[in-house]
Amino acid sequence: MIINDFSKENSLISKYIFELRDVSIQKDSMRFRRNIERIGEIMSYEISKTLNYETVKVTTPLGEKEVYVPDNKIVLCSILRAGLPLHNGVLNYFDSVENAFISAYREHPNDDDDFEVIVSYLASPSIEGKTLILVDPMLATGKTLENVLEALKNHGKPKQIHILSVIGAKPGIEYVEKIFPADTHLWIAAVDDRLDSRGYIIPGLGDAGDLAYGDKL
Rounded CA-CA distance 214/206 in Å is: 12
Structural domain containing residue 27: 2-52+70-213
Question: What pLDDT score does 119 carry?
Answer: 78
What are phi and psi for residue 91, nearest 5 degrees?
-65, -25
Q: What is the pLDDT of residues 32-76, one digit of tens each?
A: 999 999 999 999 999 999 999 999 999 999 999 999 999 999 999
65 is a domain residue: no
Percentage of residues in the chain having pLDDT higher than 90: 85
pLDDT for the residue numbered 113: 62
- 205: in domain: yes
Please say if the pLDDT value at position 7 is more than 90.
yes
pLDDT tens for each residue of 72-114 = 999 999 998 889 999 999 999 999 999 999 987 666 566 666 6
Residue 170 lies in a domain: yes
Residue 60 lies in a domain: no
Task: Tell whether 61 is covered by a domain.
Answer: no
Residue 14 in domain:
yes
- Interacting residues of 66 by C-beta distance below 8 A, sequence separation 6+: 55, 56, 57, 58
Which SS3 state, helix, strand or coil, does residue 194 take? strand
CATH classification of the domain holding 36: 3.40.50.2020
- Which helix (H) or strand (E) segment holds residue 84: the answer is helix 84-93
CB 162 within 8 A of CB 133: yes
pTM of the complete model = 0.91
Of 159, 151, 163, 165, nearest in space to 1 by CA: 163
What mean pLDDT, rounded, does the chain reach?
93
Categorize the per-residue pLDDT at 18 as very low, low, confident or very high, splitting at 50, 70 and 90. very high
Count of structural domains within the chain:
1
Q: How confident is the model at residue 11 (pLDDT cuts 50, 70, 90)?
A: very high
